[in-house]
Amino acid sequence: MDIPPPADDPAAHSRELAETRAFFAERAARWDSKYPDDSPRYAAAIADTGLTTGQFVLDAGCGTGRALPLLRAAVGPTGTVLGVDLTPEMLDRAAVHRPHAALVRADCCRLPLPDAVVDLVFGAGLISHLPGPAAGLRELARVTRPGGRLALFHPLGRAALAARQGRQITPDDLRAREHLHPLLTAAGWTLLSYTDDPTRYLVLADRT
């Protein structure tokens, strides 16, 4: 996927948001049935984040809420789970998980949260859909406490996902380490690990 334009152009940002909403709105009703049950891969990724009881986790771009019950299990009854998504149709599907999480419709580049309150940002399939990834990563850093963590996840690695979608990985793929690492650093994150295997894409970074 080509690197999206920067989010410092309000008109471009609005167009990107509208395109993202339209893309996911059209697919929301069949999203979970179209893809296999990846819960074990989600669970393994969440375990690797180090999320613990009582913490505040933000599921950024939560979609239909596939991660929400697993995140709730990790933080327990004393923790906070907040699911944020741009697309109303996706949030409608995620509403079944309301006992596990609060749900908010919002742009992940403009979150309705104060500074430094989140312990973990979990973003499954998020980074490629941010309208301006640099601005999005800065906003996620803003709401995360110093020492908090970011997890960018997909249940398939880049090559496996491209093959499933019938395309080739482009040289400027945003999720490639050489492109993502400097964006993370500039946004206030320290890269801890980068995994891109057939059955997992997981990037972990800490808030500096």
Mean pLDDT of 31-53: 89
Which helix (H) or strand (E) segment holds residue 206: the answer is strand 200-207
CA-CA distance, 73 to 109, in Å (whole number)?
27
Per-residue pLDDT of 1-32, as tens digits, reads 233 334 457 878 788 777 777 676 667 667 67
Q: Cβ of 189: how many Cβ atoms within 10 Å?
A: 26
Q: Hunting for tokens 């110093």 — which residue is that? A: 146
Sign of CA dihedral 39, 111, 56, 101: negative
Please give the pLDDT value at position 76: 98
Per-residue pLDDT of 134-191, as tens digits, reads 999 999 999 999 999 999 999 999 999 999 889 999 999 999 999 999 999 999 999 9
> Which CATH architecture does the domain made up of 10-207 adopt?
3-Layer(aba) Sandwich (3.40)
Per-residue pLDDT of 89-112, as tens digits, reads 989 989 987 788 999 999 999 999
Instruction: Give me the DSSP letters along 58-101.
Output: EEET-TTTTTHHHHHHHH-TTSEEEEEES-HHHHHHHGGGTTT-
CA-CA distance, 35 to 29, in Å (whole number)?
12
CA-CA distance, 63 to 165, in Å (whole number)?
19
Q: Hunting for tokens 């749900």 — which residue is that? A: 103
